Amino acid sequence: MISEAYPVLAPQRREQIRKVVKQGGIARVEDLRKNLKVSVATIRRDLEILEEEGKVRRVHGGAVSMESRLEESVFDDKTSLASKEKIRIAEEAYSMIGTEESIFLDGGSTTLFLARMLTGRNDLTVVTNSLRAASELAEKGPRVILTGGELRRLSQTMVGPLSSAVLNQVRVDKAFMGTMGFCLMNGLTTTDPNEAFVKSLVAEHARQVILLADSSKAEKVSFARFSEWKQIDLLISDDGLTEVLAKSLRKLGLVVRLC
């Protein structure tokens, strides 16, 4: 083995520094010095270079990362409340995807988990209006087609009339949709009308529409309605969903899967 304390090449070291800073969002000069076993002067010089390259911004005592942290906000989601259910729902959804299919991925955290599971599949074509889903698949995985449109910051999705231009030109086998709320009376609703517009359009261009919604969304009604129940073919939810509601939905012709 050559694992002895090897001197490290400067570019290599700077790459390490960059990663450490990006990881924690911030890093102290003193900590970097200890980890990399070089003098503070060298660390400072490296940070100076990394700052010129736009990768970090120096602050008194260390440096903060300037690199986009979209991916990490995903990690934040992972620790959120209903994440276990969401992951199970995403796994169930994944099992329904056949080979060489084209699918649509909606915005929302559940579909984001699904997106992450697709990184190994390069037989698929994924259409999405979610910037986060696209980022998950940015490195490798399926063919990715983005809908385009105006960026809605709150959900990190592309919405509005402009999105229809691309959507009108594609058809997908399965559309995996999220929702802010669903109930028997009012159907599916979300907060933003522009977002609803896209969802509604997607439902029209999919052979099969699959709703991914954990039970916390049940009986919730939001502002903009984007779909009636008859447009939905399948609902995947968790066993927190009441039997009454599940039975009613099945009566409407839906397939309901609880996991």
Which region among 153-161, 183-191, 199-207, 220-228 touches its own copies (by CB under 8 A)? 153-161
Cα–Cα distance between 65 and 253 in angstroms, integer?
A: 51
Query: Rule CB under 8 A: is residue 147 a binding residue for its own copies?
Result: yes
The answer to whether the beta carbons of residues 160 and 149 sit under 8 Å apart is yes
Query: Rule CB under 8 A: is residue 251 a binding residue for its own copies?
Result: no
Cα–Cα distance between 176 and 61 in angstroms, integer?
A: 46
* Three-class DSSP category at 79: coil
Near its own copies by CB under 8 A: residue from 42, 83, 231, 248: 83
23 contact partners, CB below 8 Å, separation of at least 6:
none
Near its own copies by CB under 8 A: residue from 104, 113, 182, 226: 113
Which region among 82-90, 224-232, 235-243, 246-254 touches its own copies (by CB under 8 A)? 82-90
| Distance in Å, CB of 89 to its own copies, minimum | 13
Cα-Cα-Cα-Cα dihedral of 84, 127, 234, 198, to 10°?
100
Structure letter (DSSP) for residue 65: E
Which helix H or strand E contains 68, and what residues bound it?
none
| Distance in Å, CB of 11 to DNA, minimum | 8
* Three-class DSSP category at 109: helix
Binding residues for DNA, rule: CB under 7 A, are 7, 10, 13, 28-30, 38-42, 44-45, 48, 58-62
Near its own copies by CB under 8 A: residue from 1, 5, 41, 52: 52
Question: Considering beta carbons, is residue 38 or 184 the nearer one to DNA?
Answer: 38
Q: How does DSSP assign 30-47, residue by residue?
A: HHHHHHHTS-HHHHHHHH
Question: Considering beta carbons, is residue 77 or 173 the nearer one to DNA?
Answer: 77
211 contact partners, CB below 8 Å, separation of at least 6:
177, 178, 179, 182, 188, 232, 234, 235, 236
Query: Rule CB under 8 A: is residue 242 a binding residue for its own copies?
Result: no
Binding string, 5-44, against its own copies, x = CB under 8 A? --x-xxxx--x---------xx-x----------------
Cα–Cα distance between 106 and 129 in angstroms, integer?
A: 6
The residues of the shown chain that bind its own copies, judged by CB under 8 A, are 7, 9-12, 15, 25-26, 28, 52-55, 59-62, 64, 66, 68, 70-71, 76, 79-80, 83-84, 87, 113, 116, 131-132, 134-140, 143-151, 153, 156, 158, 162-163, 165-166, 168-170
